[in-house]
């Protein structure tokens, strides 16, 4: 899967209780694409049973409440407001994910806010993680009596910010935070006397210094993967460093594996398993057709989810590394879940901004087939988080 030169998405996915399955081979051809028939109303239990929400089908649903918020939500980047940028079809908002054998609870903003009172929800990762963070902000804002009581603590503008942002829900003394850390580990100056082609060092054995601010969070949602490729590393002069030494022969996937071990050690040593619920989202697929992002690739002709299974790509190797790392943590009793959204998201070629990017984007700019229109697909990812928290009796 390709990524463009901009702040492209990272992972996202969720095996709730089954880490051994692969989202692209689990009953693959038995997932028949649904007709556009109305779905029965759902009345899920407030405490859903254990379920693997990762597998199922997209169902056309005229009543689907993506309209729990609209593009008027003040916390959306202009690049995610696709209708305002000229997109005329809105059918992409009417597809509801229906898991096999169970129902996915619709996110109840008031309930989640109450459960999260005096707490912290933190997202850490690349710009696809930001996409999901903005989705949750807008979903939760729907449960607040006065949206003006939601504000960024330091007064920062939230558009295109590259550091970290802390949105406070004053009525609930809750913060929902985003930290931009595309690799999760530190990117810094290379060691002295490094070859001239080395512009920066990715320190796979040092988690980003923002990690000090994640300690004590009630919910932590990580994502990574979209930047772990040759285009974003070696071809840019970013090589890998470990133990204070540059290793120019280390492959990208090996570096990613080692960075995950660094993340794992940090979680085990710094987080209270009785308090913090940890999620690591799987890869969020991109959908460039007819070329790569910089060679005319496009997704603007797609108005429905994918029907041709031959167009679905194999499961990304990064997902395997994340899943395996989490399996290694079973014995330490941390509440770590692999949020496997890759399979369901692979179908949604229709959900990207494509050519409907933020105002002022040059006409010949590459299409955005990586990020997601909002309201849209990331709302379902947040419903996965919500369902999992309910099943664990989050803060009750």
Counting the structural domains of the chain, the total is 1
Choice among 77, 302, 368, 379 that is catalytic: 368
3-state SS assignment for residue 6: coil
Q: Reply yes or no on whether 368 is catalytic.
A: yes
Annotated active-site residue in 370, 371, 379, 391: 371
In a domain, 251, yes or no: yes
Q: Determine the structural domain holding residue 139 and report its residue range.
A: 62-392
Distance CA 159, CA 177 (A): 14
Residue 11 lies in a domain: no
Residue 272: active-site member: no
Q: Is residue 127 part of a domain?
A: yes
HEC states along 152-185?
A: ECCCCCCCCCCCEEEEEEHHHCEEEEEEECCCCE
Q: From the centroid of its chain, how far is CA 265?
A: 22
> 284 lies in a domain?
yes
Q: Is residue 30 part of a domain?
A: no
Identify the active-site residue in 127, 259, 282, 391: 127
SS3 191: coil
3-state class of 217 per DSSP?
coil
Cα angle: 37, vertex 40, 46; to 5 degrees: 140
Give the Å distances, CA to CA, from 227 to 5, 68, 154, 223: 10, 32, 28, 11
Say if CB 117 and CB 170 are below 8 A apart: no
Is residue 57 in a domain? no
Structural domain contains residue 260: yes
User: What CATH number is attached to the domain comprising 93?
Assistant: 3.40.50.1110
Angle at 203 between CA 226 and CA 195, to 5 degrees: 100
Contact (Cβ atoms closer than 8 angstroms) between residue 124 and residue 214: yes
What is the full per-residue pLDDT of the chain (396 aa) written as tens digits? 433 434 433 333 333 333 333 344 443 333 334 444 433 333 344 444 568 899 999 999 988 765 579 999 999 999 999 999 999 998 999 999 999 989 999 999 999 999 999 999 999 999 999 999 999 999 999 999 999 999 999 988 887 677 999 999 999 999 999 999 999 999 999 999 999 999 999 999 999 999 999 999 999 999 999 999 999 999 999 999 999 999 999 999 999 999 999 999 999 999 999 999 999 999 999 999 888 777 778 999 989 999 888 888 888 999 999 999 999 998 666 779 999 999 999 999 999 999 999 888 898 899 999 999 999 999 999 999 999 999 999 987
* Contacts for 332 with CB less than 8 Å, ≥ 6 apart: 268, 273
Residue 151, domain member (yes or no): yes
* Annotated catalytic residue 352: no
């Amino acid at each position: 899967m390709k990524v463009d030169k901009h702040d492209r998405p990272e992972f996202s996915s969720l095996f709730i209780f089954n880490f051994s399955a692969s989202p692209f081979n689990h009953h693959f051809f038995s997932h028949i694409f649904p007709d556009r028939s109305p779905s029965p109303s759902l009345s899920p239990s407030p405490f859903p049973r254990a379920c693997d929400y990762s597998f199922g089908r997209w169902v056309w649903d005229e009543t689907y409440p993506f309209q729990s918020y609209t593009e008027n939500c003040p916390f959306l980047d202009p690049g995610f407001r696709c209708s305002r940028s000229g997109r005329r079809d809105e059918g992409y908002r009417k597809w509801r994910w229906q898991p096999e054998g169970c129902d996915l609870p619709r996110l109840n903003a008031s309930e989640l806010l109450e459960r999260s009172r005096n707490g912290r929800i933190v997202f850490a990762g690349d710009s696809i993680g930001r996409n999901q963070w903005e989705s949750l902000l807008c979903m939760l804002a729907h449960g607040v009596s006065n949206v003006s009581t939601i504000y960024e603590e330091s007064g920062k503008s939230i558009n295109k910010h590259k550091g970290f942002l802390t949105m406070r829900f004053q009525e609930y003394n809750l913060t929902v935070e985003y930290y931009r850390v595309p690799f999760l580990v530190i990117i810094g100056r290379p060691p002295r006397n490094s070859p001239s082609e080395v512009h920066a060092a990715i320190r796979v054995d040092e988690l980003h210094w923002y990690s000090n601010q994640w300690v004590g969070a009630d919910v932590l949602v990580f994502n990574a993967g979209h930047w772990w490729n040759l285009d974003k590393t070696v071809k840019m002069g970013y090589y890998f460093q470990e133990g204070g030494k540059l290793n120019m022969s280390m492959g990208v996937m090996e570096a990613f594996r080692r960075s995950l071990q660094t993340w794992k050690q940090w979680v085990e040593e710094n987080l209270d398993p009785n308090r913090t619920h940890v999620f690591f989202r799987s890869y969020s697929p991109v959908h460039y057709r007819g070329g790569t992002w910089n060679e005319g690739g496009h997704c603007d002709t797609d108005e429905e989810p994918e029907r041709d299974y031959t167009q679905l790509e194999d499961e990304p190797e990064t997902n395997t590394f994340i899943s395996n790392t989490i399996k290694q943590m079973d014995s330490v009793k941390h509440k770590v879940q692999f949020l496997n959204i890759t399979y369901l998201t692979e179908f949604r070629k229709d959900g990207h901004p494509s050519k409907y990017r933020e105002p002022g984007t040059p006409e010949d700019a590459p299409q955005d087939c990586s990020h997601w229109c909002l309201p849209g697909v990331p709302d379902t990812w947040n419903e996965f988080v919500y369902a999992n928290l309910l099943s664990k009796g989050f803060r009750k």
